[in-house]
């Protein structure tokens, strides 16, 4: 992996408030276990799940726009075809520094749009695996 990509991922992993779009209530699913790993490593995890009141003991929000506080990173556990809409929502938020698309999730056009707006973008990588590797 290029050093530049590692540096970008390290910068993203330095941020603290991670909104997890598609955060699951089901233990054993990656969209549940990876946010739990992030919580265990002292990140502030903000679940985005319109079908849950709470995930991992934290209040869940219906959408990114409903989050009252600061979001540094948007971590996506939704299908690739939903990424453009998630990028649209993300670009409405003032504080977001990065979008992280989990392993198997990518959308080059939406990623390019996010990067053009000044966000760091990581695609098709597991934030837990990269955290273990880099931190």
Which domains occur in the chain, in start order? 3-134 (3.40.50.720)
Q: Residue-wise over 26-53: b if at least 16 C-beta within 10 A, else e?
A: eeeebbbebbbbbbeeebbbbbbbeebe
Share above pLDDT 70 across residues of the chain, in percent, rounded to a whole number: 89
Per-residue pLDDT, 133: 86
How open is the CA angle 74-120-44, to the nearest 5 degrees?
Answer: 35
Mean pLDDT across 73-85 = 97
pLDDT tens digits for range 20-66: 999 999 999 999 999 999 999 989 999 999 999 999 999 999 999 99
Which pTM was predicted?
0.91
Q: What is the average pLDDT across 79-86? A: 98
């Amino acid at each position: 992996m290029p050093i530049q990509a590692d540096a970008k991922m390290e910068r993203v992993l330095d941020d603290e408030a991670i909104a997890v779009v598609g955060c699951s209530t089901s233990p054993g699913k990656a969209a549940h276990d990876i946010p739990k790993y992030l919580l265990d490593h002292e990140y502030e995890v903000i679940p985005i799940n319109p079908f849950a009141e709470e995930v991992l003991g934290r209040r869940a929000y219906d959408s990114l726009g409903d989050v009252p506080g600061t979001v540094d990173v948007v971590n996506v556990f939704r299908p690739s075809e939903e990424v453009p809409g998630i990028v649209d929502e993300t670009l409405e938020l003032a504080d977001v520094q990065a979008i992280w698309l989990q392993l198997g999730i990518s959308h080059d056009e939406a990623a390019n749009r996010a990067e053009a707006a000044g966000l760091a973008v990581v695609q098709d990588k597991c934030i837990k695996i990269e955290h273990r590797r880099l931190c």
